[in-house]
Structure 1
Amino acid sequence: MENKWLRAALPALLIHGSIGTVYAWSVFKQAIADNIGQSVPNVEWAFSIAILFLGLSAAVLGPFVERDIKKSAMLSTAFFVVGMVGTGISIQQKSLVGIYIFYGVIMGIGLGIGYLTPVKNLMLWFKDNKGLGTGLAVAGFGLSKMIFSPIMMSLQKSAGLWQMFVILSVIFALMMLSGALLIRKPANWHEKPLKNRFSPMILIKNTNFIGIWLMFYLNITAGLAIISQEKDILSGLHNDSGSAVFSVAAIATIVSIDAFFNAAGRIGFATFSDRLRDRNTIYRIIFAMSLMMSLAAFFLPDASRLMPIVLVMTFFLINAGYGGGFSALPPLLADRFGMQAISKIHGVALTAWAAAGLSGNQLASFIVHGLKMPYQNVFIAIAVLYAIAYIIATWVVRPQQTLIQ
């Protein structure tokens, strides 16, 4: 049956809805640290390694994904599920190195292949609305965190921490295998070999690509700095009497709603970019919005009654802009470089995600845990990053095309 919802949208949601649980990291990182007797900064490297290998595997295996999306979906499933099971066993064995290997390296490879697999397929099926297509492709990441964060918290209490990973690995295996069986490129699309051998050097020498890479990197770094610390920041906010402003239940609810905004931003910003003369305008909107919210969260005193509201709204809007940055990227790259090698080009661009995985949550962890500074300083740090990203989006990324065929 040739149906874009069955052959493109649903498989994308099943695959990304599974691998997107990597963004629920803040829900269980403290529990892992307590369980294996390690500090949170040490455990934090597992998330950084996972994002690093996501970007590297996407860059290296972009040509493989381009050739056969069914095989790439299956390979992603294998790596991701083995990584989940191995992480559970490593926690049970109290092995930090095992967590680095399974959650970081193996699961990270599954993330990279799985992330790339549905994207071009959706742009092919939704050729007149590429932004909507890629928004659907990566919305599963945001929805995944919203759906599975409370499930993970419940499983930790009822079954145990390491058992949670094993149980979820079975669920994700079924979801991703279903996606692999359903996914299919349009019957009227025939892959044409490139006239010239694709080389990343073509992109590295291109000013537009460098600008896109840098603003993508800065948006992810700033977003991860907040996303990785949401639970800790909310827990650390107290009123004048010294009582916590947010209860555990309220924090769980906010984290889930954050994920909704992440998903909504992925669909909304990318879909809106379909209506713009230059899709790059969407990035200037995202950076300006995120910059203003970061400054508001930094300068408003803790004692202000508005602080909890501003803090929560900052999380919501930064999550929306963070998600929108991902979904708007493939159509922007297609506008600048054409569709013929888009999976390869997108894969190289995702190395920015790999680099940001080493700098985003580590930046926040260094400020809060290393320098022992208040969480507000994370907001001023990312405000600087958003300001630089806005400058790059305005003066470096230009409308010129460089078609790669």
Structure 2
Amino acid sequence: MSSITEPNDQSGSAPFFSKQATVAKPGFSRWMVPPAALAVHLCIGQAYAFSVFNGPLTKVIGITQSAPDDWSLTSLGWIFSLAIVFLGLSAAFAGKWLEHVGPRRTMFTAACCFGGGFLVSALGVYLHQIVLLYLGYGVIGGIGLGLGYVSPVSTLIRWFPDRRGMATGMAIMGFGGGAMIAAPLSVALMNHFRSATSIGVAETFVVLGIAYFISMSIGSLAIRVPPADWKPAGWTPPATNQKKMISRNHVDIDQALKTPQFYLIWLVLFLNVTAGIGILGQASVMIQESFKDTVTAAAAAGFVGLLSLFNMGGRFVWASASDWIGRKNTYFIFFALGAVLYYLVPGFAASGQIALFVLAYCVILSMYGGGFATVPAYLADMFGTAFVGGIHGRLLTAWAAAGVAGPVLVNYIRAYEVAHGVAKADAYTMTIHIMVVLLVIGFVCNLLVKRVDDKHHMTDAQLAKGA
């Protein structure tokens, strides 16, 4: 198996940020690439921790309590929503550009956008103009999120053709774990900068913006792509694997959208994420209502933290396991086991079995994270490695859609149930049964995925021209 064809000129005459300049020289260790990817993903994973700023941002004027002119939580909620929307849009529409200019320029652009978004937001806090927060973190920062998320993935897959799942799992695990660093760091910085006249948010935004820019820039400078026809020492590319559906051919970005496989895998990701993301957002309230007078707010916070650990760990464990059992089989486990666990959860709650309740959701959230980390390798198996970054970017629109569908299912159905007299402890039962149905549909969609028809494959001439 070969990587996407790269120019052979490694003389150093190519512009520093060009794709040619990132081609690795002889002796370069591929194990230098995962840390470069992590330098980016650990930073952009901060997005999951943005909620720590919501409370302080409602007191920018009042300092100790909200003043009449302070922002409301409702208006602040749009900052994160915009960031996720522009993450999806930038990942989807910048795919071709990523494949054309290479990972270094894309990752450095992500560093400028994500770090710069914090600085624009800091100005917005200082001037008390929320539109600057929408523009800064929401739009500019969201673009940085999208570019930073997809840019290292295709490079890792090309460096690790023998361990695609493990490689992408390492990077995307960083996105899941970034919030675990960002949350306490942000709180500590706000406490450090807090004064009688400042809540400390603007100053924290400046520090974070600079720190994230530096870390992501280092990652962009360290990234390398393999030379043409490179392969790991001692590894022989296998013949097309019919059982695991690993292809040695390549499909163009636009052509991939003409295949049923793209839309089936889109549904696979959408349904897997929908089943997990809504629960993740309501985990604290859900466990307290399910075990009223038994689980305290502090214990519920610990439950949320535990789910985050399984979400992060599942990204590496499940993606690595997919190298052995195949991507399609991995998603079979996600949907089958997930459906069974969701079906059992209401019974665990009704019988007061907290340990089984917690264990079930931990496994479910590990598969939620594993779905994110496994899908890039699934795409590489189906469509080849030449344009997997761009194809992956377009598939992430499933994440954006699930980000709306999951919380709507959990929140609105629960509200409807409670409004019609259902006890809060039982209000999640209908939602969970709907999740079971969605997972069964996902199982069927995954079952229908077959190898891509030969008519969609690029010829060697087309591949060389598109490189």
Unaligned runs of 5+ in 2: 1-26, 60-65, 194-198, 231-248
Structure 1 residues 333 and 403: CA distance shift in structure 2, 3 A = farther
Distance 1:101 1:324, change over 3 A: same
The whole-number CA distance in structure 2 between the counterparts of 1:145 and 1:292 is 30
Give the counterpart of 2:260 among 190, 203, 207. 207
| Identity across matched positions, percent | 33
* Structure 1 consecutive aligned stretches of length 4 or more whose deviation exceeds 6 Å: none
Structure 1 222/51 Cα, relative in aligned 2: closer, same or farther at 3 Å?
Answer: farther
- Code of the residue aligned with 2:201 in structure 1: it is W
Contact 2:38 2:171 in 1 (8 A): yes
Structure number with greater CO (CA < 8 Å, separation at least 6) is 1
What residue is the counterpart of 2:311 in the other structure? 262
Aligned residues: 390
What's the counterpart of residue 348 of structure 1? 394
Instruction: Note the C-alpha offset of 1:37.
Output: 4.1
Q: Of 177, 190, 205, which residue of structure 2 is paired with 1:143?
A: 177
Please state how far the C-alpha of 1:72 moved relative to its aligned partner: 0.5
Tell me by how many angstroms 1:238 deviates. Answer: 5.3
1:21–1:316 CA distance, 2 compared to 1 (3 A): farther
Counterpart of 1:2 in structure 2 is 28
Superposition pairs of residues 230-379 of structure 1, within 5 angstroms: 230-234=283-287, 236=289, 239-240=292-293, 245-248=295-298, 250-276=299-325, 278-301=326-349, 304-307=351-354, 309-367=355-413, 374=424, 376-377=428-429, 378-379=431-432
Post-superposition CA distance 1:105-143 (Å, at most 9, x none) = 221111110011111111111111111111112110122
Describe the superposition over 1:266-321 as per-residue Cα deviations: whole angstroms up to 9, x where unpaired.
Answer: 11111111112x4211111112222233333334446x4323x3443344222211
> In the TM superposition, what is the alpha-carbon distance from 1:361 to its structure 2 partner?
3.4
**Contact 1:19–1:111 (CA under 8 A) maintained in structure 2:** yes
**Cα distance 1:60–1:24, how it changes in 2: closer, same or farther (>3 A)?**
same
**Which residue of 209, 232, 249 corresponds with 1:169?**
209
Partner in structure 1 of residue 159 of structure 2: 125
Q: Is the 8 A contact 2:290 2:349 kept in 1?
A: no
Q: Contact 2:82–2:139 at 8 Å: present in 1 too?
A: yes
Which has more helix, going by share of residues? 1
Moved more, 44-53 or 229-238: 229-238
For residues 350-393 of structure 1, the C-alpha deviation after alignment (integer angstroms, 9 at most, x for no partner) is: 22123223333344443456876646255344333222212211
Shift of 1:181: 1.5
Structure 1: distance between partners of 2:343 and 2:129? 40
SS at match of 1:184: coil
Larger radius of gyration: 2
Give 1:403 deviation, angstroms.
3.0
- Alpha-carbon spacing, 1:30–1:315, altered in 2? closer, same or farther (3 Å): farther
Query: Aligned partners of 1:368 and 1:156: how far apart in 2?
Result: 35
1:389 is matched with which residue?
442
User: AA paired with 1:390?
Assistant: F
Q: TM-score, normalised by structure 1?
A: 0.84
> Take 2:435 and 2:128, find their aligned partners in 1: how far apart are those partners?
34
Q: TM-score, normalised by structure 2?
A: 0.74
Contact 1:21 1:145 in 2 (8 A): yes
From 62, 65, 70, give the equivalent of 2:95.
62
**Residue 108 of structure 2: which of 74, 88, 94 is its match?**
74
Q: What residue in structure 2 maps to residue 24 of structure 1? A: 49
Query: Hey, what's the Cα distance between the residues in 2 that align with 1:80 and 1:366?
Result: 32
